[in-house]
Amino acid sequence: MKDDAANRGRVTTMKLRSSLILPCGLLLLLMLFAAACDDSEPTAAADWVIEVTASPASLDLDAPDIPGSSTITAVVFNTDGQPQSGIGVRFSASAGTMASGGGLVKTNERGEAQDVLTTNADSKVRVKSGSAEGTVDVKINSTNEKPTAVISIQPRDQAPIGSQVTFSGSSSEDLDGEIVEYRWSIASTNPDPGVSNPDDEVTASTTIIRTYNNPQDLTVSLTTVDNKGATASTSATYFVLDNLPPTVDAGPPQTGIIGSSSPYTCSITLCPVSSDPDGQVTAYQFSWGDSDTPVLPVGCQNHTYLRPSPTLADYKVVVTAYDNGNKEGACLAPPPPGGFDTCTSRKTATDSTVITCPAAAR
């Protein structure tokens, strides 16, 4: 009997403890929920007022590229004009960044909430809570003009492998100060062994010099920095070739000479002018405009047109100049007339002119 009574006592005690555990668990959940609620966003009523000010409202920047900061203060008032504490607001800007990153900021006991704008451009800051909002403008006044960035490269446009290439920023300028730094970055499609790609250099000198042993295309970028930190950037393309192309000038338009014995013939003499910066021109191809396209030695060439009628006619003549290839695989002979040219390193240039065969006198 005693054992039964003891067992009943233990059961009663366990039930009592269980009944206590459940409310305690509920209490803990309620406390967690309350804490979570404390992190929610109590918002202003639709008819409340949010006044926003910026300090300073106008930023005087030493350099346009270096942003300044302005403290943005928002005060939330109810319809009675009383500042409201514990109200969640969010700051956003049309330009620049807010220190809060757009996160929730709550008003203090004076109804104030603050955030910091960092910008180098005019910006409109909006403060919003629920459907109530206020705005303020922050203006930028730069006291320093940006420099300019200008690239010049010698030799111009292209260079043969093994030659020095000079990259210059000397034409860059700063109207209200001085350029103190030139930041070069040269990216290559086929960099020389051991050369970083891109090839970067920061210097106070206006020029840098490079020598290239691989044929490659270069993208050259320059950023100039003035004495107040403002910057300007530009870029250019450049080519390093194993063989530079020749140049050719077909000459000015000409009038042909009608044949003395037949009005159906018209003769001209064409003397193109050509050169090759790293070799020599070995041959010309003349496309006379009448289906005749011979490959001929360098020099003046005569041609006679046979016309179907003695009326006025114009012929477009295209002259192609062939060089002798690169230094390693030089094309010692000109291309065969109308045949396959086995010299793969040969480069060409073309130009055109117009030959007029006048109507025969009647």
DSSP for 39-60, written as a single string: TS-----TT-EEEEEEESSEEE
Predicted local confidence at residue 328, as pLDDT:
74
Provide mean pLDDT across the span 334-338: 74
More confident residue, 273 or 3: 273
Quote the distance between the C-alpha of residue 175 and its chain's center.
Answer: 25
pLDDT at 66: 84
Given this model, what pLDDT does residue 40 score? 59
Most confident stretch, 17-31, 37-51, 166-180: 166-180
Residue 281 belongs to what H/E stretch? strand 281-287
Lowest mean pLDDT across 8-22, 159-173, 188-202, 241-255? 8-22
- For the cut 90, the answer to whether the pLDDT of residue 291 exceeds it is no
Determine how β-strand 281-287 pairs with β-strand 295-296. antiparallel
Report how far residue 356's alpha carbon sits from residue 259's, in angstroms, rounded to the nearest whole number. Answer: 14
Calculate mean pLDDT across residues 223-246.
94
Checking if the pLDDT of 45 tops 80, the result is yes
Token pair 């960092």 in the structure block, residue: 118
pLDDT, residue 3, reads: 52
pLDDT of res. 4: 52
Domains in the chain, CATH or no CATH each:
49-142 (2.60.40.10), 152-241 (2.60.40.10), 247-357 (2.60.40.10)
Q: Is 204 exposed, middle or buried (0-12, 13-18, 19+ CB in 10 A)?
A: exposed
Query: Phi and psi dihedrals of 85, rounded to 5?
Result: -90, 160
Mean pLDDT of 33-48: 67
Give DSSP secondary structure letters for 73-138: EEEEE-TTS-B-SS-EEEEEESSSEETTTT--EE--TTSEEEEEEEESS-EEEEEEETTEEEEEEE
Q: Under a CB-based contact definition with an 8 Å cutoff, are residues 247 and 279 in contact?
A: no
The pLDDT value recorded for residue 16 is 36
Instruction: Give the bridge partners for 87, in sequence order.
Output: none
| pLDDT(50) > 80 | yes
Average pLDDT, the chain: 86
What pLDDT, on a 0 to 100 scale, did the predictor assign at position 156?
92
Residue of higher predicted confidence among 90 and 7: 90
